[in-house]
Homo-oligomer: A and B are copies of this chain.
Amino acid sequence: MIDYRSDNTGRAAPEILDAMVRANTGTALGYGADEWTARLQERFGELFETKVRVFPVATGTAANALALAASSPSWGLVYCSEAAHINTSEANAAGFFGGGLKLAPIAGKDGRIDPDAFARTLAAIQPGQLHRGQPAAVNLTQASDLGTVYVLDDIRAIADVAKTRGLKVHMDGARFANALARLGCSPAEMSWRAGVDILSFGVTKNGGALCDAIVVFTPELADGLAVQLRRAGQVWSKMRFASAQLMAYIEHGLWLNLAAASNAAAARIAGGIAGLPGLRLVAPVEVNEIFLELPTGVMDAIERDGFQFYRRSATLARFVCRFDTSEAEADALVAALRRHCAGPADTVPARAAE
């Protein structure tokens, strides 16, 4: 069996678990008042080249929902892509933690918000108009939920539209490292320098275990968030075990190496299937996800071949590469797709057994 179901079906990077084991010594104050968490603040400050507040949290859903709740009054409208994870997959956690805030989808291409569509939407709401709620924030998923990235100009364009109306900018960086590895820019460039106020810093999908984080660039968002996190049950009393994971994740470039590896596996697959008849990439493969339109028969066939993946619909399959997806595994998927797409899958059972 070769597993392409998700980046969360995979292992943790051993370095991250090692760091937990190493942190298991002596006593330390609870709830983040420990030395590990203090050092975490410093290290992330260096990493992002500015003073930040870093809050470890259990999950990406917690990171997103609490970051948005910090960015919006409870009567706020939060703009996002129709495909955004906060809109499709988090059971409306943002609406819940935000006290009833509302998500407002904006059109765009390949899972991204289109800056012009965003500007037009805002222009249609007069300041002082109350009956729809108040525009409060915009959410960008970087990389997007279709495996594409916003280039820096895109981020800036959206942030500019937001800032002219006083909206906050939240980046859902569940695959922040993958996007960073793709763009080859600095963490600062892809976040606060492009206008991001607050970031969901994803770790789990890129080799983490039980911990993601919120990184706050705009200081006035942090103090309230600190209380919200406590109230949300997201402040571990033995925080050192979370902070140690986050430290290990960014030390010695581990996070970028992991992301580069999963990106490379996806690129290898995308390259291998380019031009094959009978399949269609739904969006460019820019990080570690591949969205393929395939005949149902082909999906059935590669499943019989031992590949695991998610069916988003009868004709849409998603393949996700992880940091430990090997070249051999990538090549195996390419070979299988080549076999089954060469002709009508259902008519060539013999080749499926090759």
- Chain A interface (Cβ < 8 Å from any Cβ of B): 3, 5-6, 8-12, 14, 17, 20-21, 24-31, 57-66, 73-75, 88-93, 95-103, 130-134, 204-205, 208-211, 224, 226-228, 230-238, 241-242, 308
Query: Do A238 and B95 touch (CB < 8 A)?
Result: no
Chain B residue nearest to A211 (CB atoms) is B210
Query: Do B241 and A210 touch (CB < 8 A)?
Result: yes
Chain B residues with CB below 8 A from A63, complex form = 233
Chain B residues with CB below 8 A from A89, complex form = 131-132
Q: Which of B17, B26, B95, B233 contacts A62 (CB 8 A)?
A: B233
The 7 closest A-B pairs by CB, nearest first: A62-B233, A96-B100, A8-B237, A58-B58, A91-B231, A61-B233, A3-B27
Query: Do A30 and B11 touch (CB < 8 A)?
Result: no
Q: How far is the CB of A237 from chain B (nearest CB, A)?
A: 4
Copies in the complex: 4
Query: Do A231 and B11 touch (CB < 8 A)?
Result: no
* Apart from A5-B30, A8-B30, A91-B130: 11 A-B pairs, beta carbons within 8 A: A58-B236, A59-B235, A65-B231, A65-B233, A74-B99, A75-B96, A92-B100, A96-B99, A96-B231, A97-B100, A97-B233
Query: Do B93 and A232 touch (CB < 8 A)?
Result: yes
Q: How far is the CB of A121 from chain B (nearest CB, A)?
A: 13
Q: Provide a sorted-by-A list of 10 A–B residue pairs whose CB atoms are within 8 angstroms.
A: A6-B30, A8-B31, A11-B25, A27-B308, A60-B233, A88-B132, A90-B230, A92-B102, A92-B133, A204-B237
Complex CA–CA separation, A9 to B28 (angstroms):
5
Complex CA–CA separation, A95 to B100 (angstroms):
5
Chain B residues with CB below 8 A from A134, complex form = 227
